[in-house]
Structures are given as C-alpha cells and as structure tokens.
Amino acid sequence: MTVQTPIYLDYAATCPVDPRVVDAMLPFFTQMYGNAASRTHSFGWTAEQAVDNARAELARTLSADPKEITWTSGATESNNLAIKGVVEYVQSGAEGTRPHVITAVTEHKAILDTCKYLERHGADVTYLPVGPDGLLTAEQVAAAITPATVLVSIMFANNETGVVQPIAEIGKVCRERSVLFHTDATQAFGKVPIDVDAMFIDLLSMSAHKIYGPKGVGALYVRRRKPRVRLAPQIHGGGHERGNRSGTLNVPSIVGFGEAVRLARESMAEESARIQGLRDHLHDRIMAENEHVFVNGAYDHLLPGHLNISFAYIEGESLLMALKDIALSSGSACTSASLEPSYVLKAMGLDDELAHSSLRMTIGRFTTREEVDHVADALKRHVTRLREMSPLWEMVQDGIDLNSIQWAAH
C-alpha cells in the first residue's frame, strides 16, 4: 500500500483541528457572534452559554468546578499567569519579602523564562535537576522547600521526551507543606486522566491546539477552595474571568476547545491504546532494525504518542533532511535558533553528540500503521546511508574510542 506524503509525525508541536471541532466552531463566527460579556440581549446570552458549556467540559475532565477555569490565549499565557500571578500576589501583600519558587531544568521555556524574569524582580528560584530517565522525585521537591517557598511548578509531561512526572506524589508533598502546586499540562491534558483533587494540583495550564482544537486559546485551572489560590492579574481591563484575565472572550475558539476536550475525554481510553500501539510498533521496529540507537526518557513513563530516539553518529538535522517527506523535530543544535543542542536532553546527562543526534516522533489521532511503517523503512534506509558517510561511524567500526580523541572545538 502506498502512503500519502508528507507524513505528519509532530503532534507534540501542534495538531490538525478535528473536523468535528471546526463544525462546532463555525456558527459562532457568523451567526452566534455575540460578546459573552453582553448581558442585555440574546446574542450575549447565547455566547455566554456556549462559553459556560465549554468551561464545564474542561472542568469535568479535571474533576474541577467550572468556576475554576480561566480562559487564556494559550499555555504560554497560562504559565505566565500562574507563576507571575502567584508570586506577584504574595509580593503585593508583603513588601520586601523574596518569595521562593521551585521548578525543574527540563521545563518548557514558557516556565523557565518566566522564572528568570521573576529572579530579576524580587524572587528566588530553584531549578531541580532530573535523572537520566528524565524523572524528578517528590523527595527532591520536599528537600528544596524552604519557609519562603510559595510555589512549585513541575510540568505534567515533557514536550521533548514525553516523560510523565510523578505528579500526585509531588502534589502531596506540596499540600503537606502548604506550598501551591502548579503543573504545565500542555502535553498531557486530554491524553492521560487528570484529577486535580486526587493529584493535589492547585493550578494547571492547558492548550487547545495540542488536542485537535484551534491555536490561540488555552486555559488555566485555578483552585478556589482548600486552598483558595489568589493571582495578581497579568492583563488588566474589564475584569473578565473573575478579574484574573481581562479581554473579550474568543468565543469560537473557546467553543472549539470545549468540543476538543469533550472528544478527547470520551475517546481517551480507546485512543490512547491505539496511539500507544502504533508508538510501540515504531519503537520496536527502530530498535530491532538499527544498532546504536537509544530511547531518551523512561520508556514506561512516556505519554502514549511520544518517542524520542538518538541515532548515534548521525547529526539530527541531516537525518531530518533525509526524511524530507516526514514532519518530525530534532534536538539537534542545527535546528534551533540558538545553535545549542536540546537543553532537556543535556539535563538528562546525554552528551552533546547524542543530543545532536536525536529525533522526536509524536503520533496522534490521524496517524496510521502504514505511515508508521513507512517511517521505520525510511529511517532504516537513511540511517545506514548517513552512517556510511559518517567519519565517527567509521572510527567506531575501526575500534577507535571517540572519547580518546582530542577534538578541536570550534
């Protein structure tokens, strides 16, 4: 069977919008176009009702209350609001104190750069290291908590590797020590079950476009009871979203987000099993058909669709170039603007060479077995070809230890 190309295997970057989501959104552009804040006519009431329905879908998926959902423009804004919101609220109540935040070195830049900003604005931040498997422990978090700690922010699952952290255990430690717990669940939300009470989560960031919804809409879960979380708003204005986030609501996108969440929740068990089956098949073929390949991250702690593999002695960007009809991403420096290889993989102890040689393959709702087989075939062919072209591979075949060579850095 021939496969249609290009093949999309980058679902962790973004997803196509599910056609059912598009259908749900369309009437809200041209027919039900009211402002959800308009209280004086049916256009406004209809829009508000649609927004409330979507809010209820998100809340139900998290076992939360709809009043605890704040709409945002995406997970980056949610992360900014959660972290700056908590820290600045504390600072506003007690001038001169330096609140302390705990996070991890493998977090997304939306967390790390927000934390760096806070370090320049009167806060202290601890960046916890991870193990070679990409995992943190609750004990590490507990040991880092000080009397000044106000917030712990640990991602639910990593975007590059798919490694899922022990969220419930970390949450429990935070609750016991009366420290707020935020998790960036951009990759995990809608893919694995999440219960904010059972996992002791106080704030949780979400994004629509990672689960077949539209881009440009996200949400932040903000706990209202036991404990009540208070935030300093980051966008000021008309007092929408209980004052947490002003701005006219993006009704069509919110409706789409709600529908995407409903579909994800209702098909989660079945879809996870199918996607994981494809991922395992791809993994098994790559490991069986190629030598010197390594999975990055603890395989039994991964999200169902994630697979990050280093192909030793091949530079990642050249492999991407070979796989030009397949959409993938790489931890190679050559694919990043900074020319630095993946900081996530380096934090897991990978040497630069293996970080340069990594590929991230992420499988999703519309991936087929034929596509996965096509990718495995192409990988085998090009890995062989590029290794025949690789001086490092030649040295290794000749029995030379690459670490014994004095490389000239450039």
Residues of this chain that bind another protein (CB under 8 A): 313-315, 317-318, 321, 332-335, 337, 339, 341, 351-353, 356, 388-394, 402, 407-410
Q: Are the beta carbons of 84 and 102 closer than 8 angstroms?
A: no
Which CB, 211 or 323, lies closer to another protein? Answer: 323
Q: Which of 15, 115, 174, 334 is catalytic?
A: 334
Map tokens 């609220």 to a residue: 89
Which CB, 253 or 332, lies closer to another protein? Answer: 332
Amino acid at residue number 226: K
Q: Is 334 a catalytic residue?
A: yes
The one-character DSSP state at 407 is: P
Omega of the bond leading into 227 within 30 degrees of 0 (cis): yes
Q: Are the beta carbons of 125 and 99 closer than 8 angstroms?
A: no
Q: How far is the CB of 313 from another protein (least distance, A)?
A: 6
Q: How far is the CB of 158 from another protein (least distance, A)?
A: 22
Which CB, 292 or 365, lies closer to another protein? Answer: 292
Which CB, 268 or 334, lies closer to another protein? Answer: 334
Which CB, 67 or 385, lies closer to another protein? Answer: 385
Nearest to residue 252, comparing CAs of 59, 15, 36, 62? 36
Most distant CA atoms of the chain, gap in Å: 80
Rounded distance, CA 168 to CA 90, Å? 25
Q: How far is the CB of 398 from another protein (least distance, A)?
A: 10
Rounded distance, CA 392 to CA 354, Å? 12
Rounded distance, CA 86 to CA 220, Å? 13
Residues 6+ apart with CB under 8 A from 72: 78, 81, 217, 218, 219, 220, 245
Rounded distance, CA 159 to CA 163, Å? 8
Q: How far is the CB of 359 from another protein (least distance, A)?
A: 14
Task: Enumerate the active-site residues.
Answer: 334
